[in-house]
Amino acid sequence: MTQTRMSGADKLSILLVEDSALTAEQLCEMIRARLPDVSCTIVSTETEALARIADTHFDAAVLDVRLKVGSGFGVLRALSLLTPKPFLVVMTNYALPKYRSFSLLAGADYFLDKATNIELLPDLLSQYFDSIAVANSETSS
C-alpha cells in the first residue's frame, strides 16, 4: 500500500492504539502539550487500527503491545509495509526482551516501557516531526 506524505502545510497526525481510554487520553494530552498542532486519533483495537490505516495516512503511530482485542504487533506489521513508513513507537507495561526484539525487527523506531520511560514520547515525536519539516523545506527549495 502506498500513501503520500502530507505537505508541510497540513496538520501532522498520530495514530494512538491503546485499549485504556484513560491512558490514551493522558498520552494525547502529553503529546499535545509538546506538539499542540498535531492531530491525535485514538483507537482501542487492532481491527479499528487496521481499518483506519487502510484509508488514512498517519505520520506516526504509537502502539500498545497488549490490547483487549487483537495485538499492537498486527498493527505494527501493517504500518511497517506502508510507503512512506510512519514513525513507529511501541509501548507496553510488559517490556519483555522478546517484545522489544520483535518490535524493533518488525519496524518499530522505538520501544518504550510505559512504567519507566513513557515521558520520552513527546520528545521523540517532536524530533521526528522536526526532521519532516527540515526534509520538506529542503525539497521545496
Q: pTM (2 decimals)?
A: 0.88
- Neighbour-count burial for 32-58, b at 16+ CB within 10 Å, e otherwise: eeebeebebbbbbbbebbbebbeeeeb
Q: What is the residue-wise DSSP string for 73-131? A: HHHHHHHHTSBSPPEEEEEES---HHHHHHHHHTT-SEEEEHHHHGGGHHHHHHHHHHH
Residue pair 42/26 in contact by the 8 Å Cβ criterion: no
pLDDT score of 41 more than 70? yes
Give domain 13-132's CATH number out of 3.40.50.300, 3.30.70.20, 3.40.50.2300, 3.90.1150.10. Answer: 3.40.50.2300
Domain boundaries, the chain: 13-132
Res 50: pLDDT: 98
* Contacts (Cβ under 8 Å, ≥6 apart) of 66: 19, 72, 92, 93, 94
Res 120: pLDDT: 96
Average pLDDT, the chain: 90
Tell me the per-residue pLDDT of 97-137, one tens digit each, with 9 for 90 and over.
999 999 999 999 999 999 999 999 999 999 999 988 777 77
Please count the CA atoms within 13 angstroms of the CA of 72 that sit on its side-chain side: 29
- Percent residues over pLDDT 90 in the chain: 84
